[in-house]
Amino acid sequence: MQRGLVASSGKGRGYEGGAPMSGQYHRPHRWAWWTERPGYMRFMIRELTSVFMAGYLVVFVLTLAKVGAGEALAGATPGTIEDVLFGSPHPFAEWIAEMRSPGWMAAHAVALAAAVWHAVTFFGAVPQAMPIFLGEKRLPAPVAMIVMGYGPWLTVTAVILWWVLR
């Protein structure tokens, strides 16, 4: 035991002859505490990618809504009541044309970078969270990352590319 301290009785007294503590100690934190260590920084960037992914999901849902609106208006001709009520008779084509603007292309690039970073960091965390054992031997982390992450990712990508480019 350090000099000048006595064992606490559990009633708020921890110092010799001291009065009960007036309140809880709140350790001060800077708002950018996560910038102090590279591991914290990588973690926070990974979490920030979720915001971009959620935003891109909203864009995807809006795209699906435009596809549905385009199918509903497939028989409409310009100048009809449907055109007045629902807007353009070709909402999906106009949406895709807007998605090709430079601002949206930059947003697509940011969303793609966020998705790749999120996937890569997830694949790196999986072997620690869910180790693979072959009998009594633990599979090394790099092998587990390939088996559980990069391998399936590349396989699905190759199948999609084959299907699109055939």
Q: What is the pTM of this model?
A: 0.64
Q: What is the pLDDT of residue 88?
A: 60
* Per-residue pLDDT tens digits for 63-77: 888 877 665 555 555
159 Cβ partners below 8 Å, 6+ apart? none
- pLDDT value, residue 117: 92
**Among candidates 157, 147, 125, which has minimal Cα distance to 47?**
125
Residues of the chain by 3-state class (helix, strand, coil), percent to 5: 65, 5, 35
What confidence category does residue 84 fall into, taking pLDDT thresholds of 50, 70 and 90?
A: very low
Identify the pLDDT of residue 156.
Answer: 96
**Tokens in use for 53?**
């992914």
pLDDT digits (tens, 9 = 90+) for 8-61: 555 555 555 556 667 788 888 888 888 889 989 988 999 999 999 999 999 989
Residue type, 130: M
